[in-house]
């Protein structure tokens, strides 16, 4: 399957459209290289225009807001992958941003009622929130996860049968964490409970 040009080259586990837009938005920052496609307003706006989240004539976005939204969504994806309790500040931060958005209802030719971002607020954010809402309703949201490697956190779509995938790439992140855990167990095996070495 050919992926759109705005999807990172490193993407190996793409989500179905339109959830791929949210996945790619989160992956505009890459931990290994430190590359950030939302580093400044012109580059953030260029990426958002390429995806269609904002129109070609829209003003440049507030890059700090875009990065904050990205990291809040990443926190939701960490929660999707770990099942741990979500920090209450994450949905609160997204909700505060959502309050600035405007939505407009419309009816398509087939009679389907559609909700889309309206004027004002942060239209790119509004578009992302609508995609997330639809994915939560159709059941695909839970399969969009952030890698369990805390040094990575790349967003990936879990297509495993049981939906229990943990790594963006088992050969890279999975092995790193397994080796780290093994070294930790081995270093702890030579110690007694009081922390002194075994003699």
- pLDDT the model gives residue 198: 38
pLDDT in tens, 133-146: 999 999 999 999 99
- pLDDT the model gives residue 50: 95
Percentage with pLDDT > 70 across the chain: 84
Closest C-alpha to 146, from 178, 124, 128, 173? 173
Distance CA 83, CA 199 (A): 41
| Cβ–Cβ < 8 Å for 155, 145 | yes
pLDDT in tens, 87-146: 888 888 888 888 988 889 999 999 999 988 887 778 888 899 999 999 999 999 999 999
Joined together, the tokens standing for residue 148 give 């369990």
- What is this structure's pTM? 0.84
- pLDDT the model gives residue 178: 57
């Amino acid at each position: 399957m050919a992926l759109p040009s705005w999807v990172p080259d490193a993407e190996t586990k793409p989500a179905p459209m339109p959830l791929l837009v949210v996945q790619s938005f989160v992956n505009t920052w890459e931990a290994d290289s430190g590359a950030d496609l939302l580093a400044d307003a012109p580059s953030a706006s260029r990426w958002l225009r390429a995806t269609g989240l904002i129109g070609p004539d829209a003003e440049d976005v507030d890059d700090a807001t875009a990065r904050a939204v990205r990291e809040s969504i990443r926190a939701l994806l960490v929660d999707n992958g770990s099942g741990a309790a979500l920090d209450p500040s994450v949905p609160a931060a997204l909700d505060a941003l959502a309050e600035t958005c405007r939505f407009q209802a419309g009816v398509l030719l087939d009679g389907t009622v559609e909700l889309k971002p309206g004027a004002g607020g942060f239209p790119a954010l509004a578009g992302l929130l609508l995609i997330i809402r639809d994915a939560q309703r159709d059941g695909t949201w839970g399969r969009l996860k952030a890698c369990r490697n805390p040094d990575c956190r790349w967003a990936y779509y879990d297509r495993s049968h049981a939906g229990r995938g943990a790594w963006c790439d088992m050969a890279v992140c999975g092995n790193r964490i397994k080796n780290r855990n093994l070294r930790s167990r081995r270093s702890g095996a030579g110690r007694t409970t009081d922390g002194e070495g075994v003699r």
